[in-house]
Amino acid sequence: MSSFSDRSRQTLQRTLTISIVGLVVGLATAFATIGFIEIVGGLNRLLLVDPAARIGQDALILVLTTVGVLTLGGLLVGLILRFGGNDGAQLGPADTLYAVQLKERLPPPSAGAWSTLAAMLSLGCGASVGQYGPLVYLGTLFGQLGNRLPLGLRDIRSIAIACGVAAAISTGFNAPIAALIFTHEVILRHYSLRMFTAVTIASACGYVVADVIFDYPPLFLIEFDGRLHGPEFPLFALEGLACGLLAVVFMRLLHRATRLAAQMSLPAALKPMLAGFVTALIALQVPEVLGAGQDVLRQASQTGNFGADTLLVILLTKLLVTVICIGFGFAGGVIFPTLLIGVLFGALFAQWVPALLLSEWSGLPVYALCGMVALMSPVIGAPMTAVLLVFEFTHNYEITIAAMLAVVFANLVAAPWYSRSLYDYQLAERGVDLSQGRERAYLMHRQAGDYLRQTLPVIDSSASMAELQQALDRADTGTAVVVGEHGRYLGLAYQHQLGASDDTHQVASLELDPGRVFDERTSLWQAMHAMRDYVGEAVPVIDSSSGRYLGALPEAVVIGAYLDAGQELRREEHEV
């Protein structure tokens, strides 16, 4: 009875501590998110990026301001990222995933602060990037700081980061349920009571700050008094298939642009400036591509604002400048650009397909909304988030069903042709593959060089057979590692080879077994599979560049690491 009471008390104490983390990190992140959004909005108005601020301005002033602001803004962003402490790269959701899934350290908070500043400036000067990717890392930054709370809670860093991400997305979208699911679906990749409690509280804090305190409207609202018609449901599926293809095109173009920028001899700090100049030239002809594009999103989602030709022009140019801006180094995310491009495509699809094929149909806003989430979902790998986002925006069950159909078919197309998401692809380029499960990714990231043991005796090739025998006797083993000049690995010598050899002969006279070897970069996952049919005490590990013997990797160490990884992940998922 006493032990049961102790467990109950400990559970209650942990729950209270987790709630405090969710509350503190959630509120801090929510207010910081509001500050981020307000600063970007102020810069947009000041620098004539906002469509309302451009009305009535002299044409020459608009030309000079657009070109000057984007070009100089790109230069400042490039300099900030170059000297901001993260090797010139911005920080985003992929870095958050990397830290949470692999238990790795994040860059220092100062690097996160510089990256956030670069994102605010990128958005403020009119670059075609999104704000929600930077907000995810802003939440990560506050979660990282929350890790320093002296609460004595296991996994506090992952919990605090999850809370920060949920609060940032909830505040930015004014959609707390979608933020809750996004955090579990994209960042954590699992559900547990501890995480669910903390993330729910943090997400609710974001909603209270955005909706109650600051009275921020949701990103996207439509009023739908009509109804869906049976023949439309195949069209929603068709729209989803088309959005899946468009998502693949977008992500592949983004990759091509990034690689093109990397191959250019232009200094890294100047590449965003070049992107800003090109974007400005395009914006002089199509001003709708400037900035994140909230106003364009709202207009495109309503009937009668844009004709099909105009929608097509805005769609293609927005896709182009987004790829250029992100690929060439402006700091920002892909979430909002995919929302806008999806709305444009959905509105265009509505005018091209149901309007021509059906005498009765639900209207352009429904298709625009379906296109919005169907394109976003495969890019960020969040189908459940996309569906719940629609429900929070519309409070309409029928539209949610239509969007769900579009989202499913978009993911069916995009996942086999690209990856689960852009973030997963970015991690795969770092050598981290989350597609086969968290345990595999964890072990693929752990390298043999970090688990070396000196279990095998090491003997120089110039030593005598007698010295080899003594080394084997001292180590109580039948296998020795033979090295040459500068410790270079030559092979393995065995006890049974000594019987027919003179004690005065050198070890070099033996026929050494090259054996199976790993280098310091061999992952534990690769080692585990390579050792399935291996007979021996341990596998030698050598330096990949010099061939120098570093140590040995025993089979027991690999098995232990695998079991520890599985146990740690299970505990994280199931512990209360």
In this structure, are 426 and 446 located in the same domain?
Answer: no
Q: How confident is the model at residue 126 (pLDDT cuts 50, 70, 90)?
A: very high
CA distance 403 to 411: 12
Kindly give, in sequence order, each residue whose CB lies less than 8 Å from that of residue 244, ignoring residues fewer than 6 positions away. Answer: 374, 378, 409, 410, 411, 412, 413, 414
Contact between residue 117 and residue 83 where contact means Cβ atoms under 8 Å apart = no
| Residue 278 within any structural domain of the chain | no
CA distance 382 to 23: 25
Contact between residue 539 and residue 527 where contact means Cβ atoms under 8 Å apart = yes
Is the confidence at residue 361, as pLDDT, over 70? yes
CB-facing half-sphere around the CA of 134: CA atoms within 13 A: 30
* C-beta neighbour count of 76 within 10 angstroms: 18
Beta bridge partners of 464: 506
Sheet holding 479-483, edge to edge: 458-460, 479-483, 489-494
pLDDT score of 442: 78
Of 384, 404, 430, which marks where a domain is finished?
A: 430
When computed from its CA atoms, the radius of gyration of the chain, rounded to whole angstroms, is 29
Mapping DSSP to helix (H, G, I), strand (E, B) and coil, where does residue 382 land? coil
CA distance 361 to 370: 14
CB-facing half-sphere around the CA of 529: CA atoms within 13 A: 7
Mapping DSSP to helix (H, G, I), strand (E, B) and coil, where does residue 436 land? coil
Distances (CA, A) of 483 to 398, 462, 487, 541: 72, 9, 5, 12
Mean pLDDT, all residues of the chain: 88
In this structure, are 419 and 532 located in the same domain?
Answer: no
| Residue 446 within any structural domain of the chain | yes
Tell me: the pLDDT tens digits for 32-78? 999 999 999 999 999 999 999 999 899 999 999 999 999 999 999 99
Q: What does the DSSP 8-state code read for residue 217?
A: P
Contact between residue 151 and residue 99 where contact means Cβ atoms under 8 Å apart = no
Ordered alpha helix ranges (H), 183-270: 193-207, 232-263
Q: What does the DSSP 8-state code read for residue 492?
A: E
| Residue among 476, 480, 473 nearest 456 (CA) | 480
Beta bridge partners of 220: none
pLDDT score of 130: 92
Of 430, 454, 484, which marks where a domain is finished?
A: 430
In the chain the first and final C-alpha atoms are separated, in Å, by 20
Q: How confident is the model at residue 6 (pLDDT cuts 50, 70, 90)?
A: low
In this structure, are 476 and 362 located in the same domain?
Answer: no
DSSP string, 2-59: HHHHHHHHHHHHHHHHHHHHHHHHHHHHHHHHHHHHHHHHHHHHHTT-SHHHHTT--H
Tell me: the pLDDT tens digits for 194-252? 788 899 999 999 999 999 999 887 777 777 777 888 889 999 999 999 999 999 999 99
Is the confidence at residue 156, as pLDDT, over 70? yes
Q: What does the DSSP 8-state code read for residue 86?
A: S
Tell me: the pLDDT tens digits for 237-280? 999 999 999 999 999 999 999 999 999 999 988 999 999 999 99
| Residue among 395, 426, 261 nearest 328 (CA) | 261
Token reading at 542? 């050598």
pTM: 0.85
pLDDT score of 236: 96
In this structure, are 99 and 189 located in the same domain?
Answer: yes
CA distance 123 to 294: 12
Q: How confident is the model at residue 27 (pLDDT cuts 50, 70, 90)?
A: very high
Is the confidence at residue 510, as pLDDT, over 90? no
Quote the percentage of the chain above a pLDDT of 90: 51
548 phi/psi in degrees, rounded to 5: -70, 140
In this structure, are 418 and 485 located in the same domain?
Answer: no
pLDDT score of 478: 86
pLDDT score of 410: 96
Choice between 453 and 165, residue whose per-residue pLDDT is larger? 165
| Residue 575 within any structural domain of the chain | no
pLDDT score of 576: 52
Contact between residue 104 and residue 310 where contact means Cβ atoms under 8 Å apart = no
Mapping DSSP to helix (H, G, I), strand (E, B) and coil, where does residue 427 land? helix
| Residue 426 within any structural domain of the chain | yes
pLDDT score of 281: 96
In this structure, are 408 and 516 located in the same domain?
Answer: no
In this structure, are 334 and 297 located in the same domain?
Answer: yes
Q: What is the number of domains present in the chain? A: 3
pLDDT score of 506: 85
pLDDT score of 515: 81
- Lowest mean per-residue pLDDT among 48-52, 81-85, 126-130: 81-85
Q: How confident is the model at residue 161 (pLDDT cuts 50, 70, 90)?
A: very high
Longest Cα–Cα distance of the chain, Å, equals: 100
Contact between residue 575 and residue 18 where contact means Cβ atoms under 8 Å apart = no
* C-beta neighbour count of 309 within 10 angstroms: 10
Is the confidence at residue 1, as pLDDT, over 70? no
Of 403, 430, 457, which marks where a domain is finished?
A: 430
Give CA torsion, residues 265, 266, 267, 271, to 10 deg.
-130
Q: How confident is the model at residue 103 (pLDDT cuts 50, 70, 90)?
A: confident
Mean pLDDT of 369-392: 94
Mean pLDDT of 365-392: 94
Characterize 228-267 residue by residue with b for buried, 16 or more Cβ atoms within 10 angstroms of its Cβ, and e for exposed.
Answer: beeebeebbbbbbbbbbebbbebbebbbebbeebeeeeee
In this structure, are 180 and 251 located in the same domain?
Answer: no
Contact between residue 156 and residue 135 where contact means Cβ atoms under 8 Å apart = no
| Residue 573 within any structural domain of the chain | no
CA distance 94 to 333: 11
Mapping DSSP to helix (H, G, I), strand (E, B) and coil, where does residue 64 land? helix
Report residue 413 CA to chain centroid gap: 20
Mapping DSSP to helix (H, G, I), strand (E, B) and coil, where does residue 354 land? helix
In this structure, are 261 and 378 located in the same domain?
Answer: yes
pLDDT score of 444: 81
- Here the CATH number for the domain that contains residue 313 is 1.10.3080.10
Tell me: the pLDDT tens digits for 402-431? 999 999 999 999 988 887 889 988 888 887
Choice between 39 and 528, residue whose per-residue pLDDT is larger? 39
pLDDT score of 86: 67
In this structure, are 422 and 463 located in the same domain?
Answer: no
Q: How confident is the model at residue 309 (pLDDT cuts 50, 70, 90)?
A: very high
In this structure, are 129 and 153 located in the same domain?
Answer: yes
pLDDT score of 445: 79
CA distance 120 to 222: 28
In this structure, are 191 and 245 located in the same domain?
Answer: no
Q: How confident is the model at residue 575 (pLDDT cuts 50, 70, 90)?
A: low
Choice between 476 and 288, residue whose per-residue pLDDT is larger? 288
pLDDT score of 323: 97
CA distance 539 to 122: 51
| Residue among 267, 13, 341, 277 nearest 152 (CA) | 13
| Residue 1 within any structural domain of the chain | no
Is the confidence at residue 495, as pLDDT, over 70? yes
| Residue among 386, 289, 270 nearest 344 (CA) | 289
pLDDT score of 45: 94
| Residue 437 within any structural domain of the chain | no
pLDDT score of 5: 66
Beta bridge partners of 447: 523
| Residue 8 within any structural domain of the chain | no
Tell me: the pLDDT tens digits for 447-475? 888 888 888 899 998 888 888 888 888 88
- Hey, CA dihedral for 455, 461, 467, 468, is it positive or negative? positive
CA distance 281 to 275: 10
Is the confidence at residue 2, as pLDDT, over 60? no
Could you list the residue range(s) of the whole structural domain that residue 245 is in? 232-271+292-430
Token reading at 243? 């959005």
